[in-house]
Structure 1
Amino acid sequence: MSDTIGQLAYKPCQPDLEDPCLSTQPPGYEELTACLNANHSDLTAAERHAVVCGILSCQSSLNGDEWSRRILSGELEAEPGENPIGSHLHEQDVEMVKRLITETTTQLDDPELGFFPLLPDDDDSIEERSAALSEWCHGYLYGLSLGGLKEFKHLSEQAQEFARDIVEISGLEVASEESEANEEAFFEVVEYLRMGVLMMRDEILPSDNAPAKGEPPHRTIH
Structure 2
Amino acid sequence: MYQAVNAVLEKYDADMGAAEAHGMAVGMLCVELKSDAANWLHELITDQNGLFDEDKTLLADLFERSRALLDPENGEFNFDLLLPDEEEALSEQVEALRVWCLGFLFGVGYAHTDADWPGDSAEVMRDLIELTKIDSDVAGEEDEAALMEIHEYVRAAVLIVRDQFAEYKNTNMH
- Report the TM-score, using the length of structure 2 for normalisation: 0.89
Over the aligned positions, Cα root-mean-square deviation in angstroms equals 1.9
User: Using the alignment, how far apart are the partners of 1:68 and 1:91 within structure 2?
Assistant: 16
Matched to 2:10, the amino acid is: N
Q: Deviations over 1:111-161 (max 9, x none)?
A: 21111111000111110000011001111110011112433x5422x3222
User: Using the alignment, how far apart are the partners of 1:97 and 1:154 within structure 2?
Assistant: 29
User: Using the alignment, how far apart are the partners of 1:207 and 1:94 within structure 2?
Assistant: 33
Instruction: Point out where structure 2 has 5 or more consecutive residues left out of the alignment.
Output: none
1:192 aligned onto 2:153: yes
In structure 2, the residue matched to 1:133 is: 97
Change (3 A) 1:149 1:112: farther
In structure 1, the residue matched to 2:123 is: 161
Instruction: Point out where structure 1 has 5 or more consecutive residues left out of the alignment.
Output: 1-27, 76-84, 210-222
How far did 1:67 drift?
Answer: 3.6
8 Å Cα contact 2:16-2:44 kept in structure 1: no
User: Using the alignment, how far apart are the partners of 2:23 and 2:143 within structure 1?
Assistant: 23
1:86 aligned onto 2:55: no
In structure 2, the residue matched to 1:44 is: 17
In structure 1, the residue matched to 2:132 is: 170
In structure 2, the residue matched to 1:54 is: 27
In terms of fraction of residues, the more helix-rich structure is 2
User: Using the alignment, how far apart are the partners of 1:142 and 1:44 within structure 2?
Assistant: 14
User: Using the alignment, how far apart are the partners of 2:40 and 2:128 within structure 1?
Assistant: 25
SS in structure 2 at match of 1:57: helix
Moved over 6 A (4+): none
Change (3 A) 1:30 1:71: farther
User: Using the alignment, how far apart are the partners of 2:160 and 2:80 within structure 1?
Assistant: 13
User: Using the alignment, how far apart are the partners of 1:63 and 1:131 within structure 2?
Assistant: 27
How far did 1:48 drift?
Answer: 0.4
User: Using the alignment, how far apart are the partners of 1:139 and 1:207 within structure 2?
Assistant: 26
User: Using the alignment, how far apart are the partners of 1:203 and 1:193 within structure 2?
Assistant: 15
User: Using the alignment, how far apart are the partners of 1:51 and 1:204 within structure 2?
Assistant: 16
Change (3 A) 1:94 1:71: farther
8 Å Cα contact 1:68-1:98 kept in structure 2: no
SS in structure 1 at match of 2:22: helix
8 Å Cα contact 1:48-1:71 kept in structure 2: no
8 Å Cα contact 1:33-1:44 kept in structure 2: yes
How far did 1:33 drift?
Answer: 0.5
- Whichever of the two has the greater Rg, that structure is 1
In structure 2, the residue matched to 1:69 is: 41
- Report the TM-score, using the length of structure 1 for normalisation: 0.70
- Identity over aligned pairs, percent: 27
Q: Deviations over 1:34-87 (max 9, x none)?
A: 1100011111111100110010011122333x24631541x3xxxxxxxxx622
Q: Deviations over 1:87-112 (max 9, x none)?
A: 23111111111110111011111421
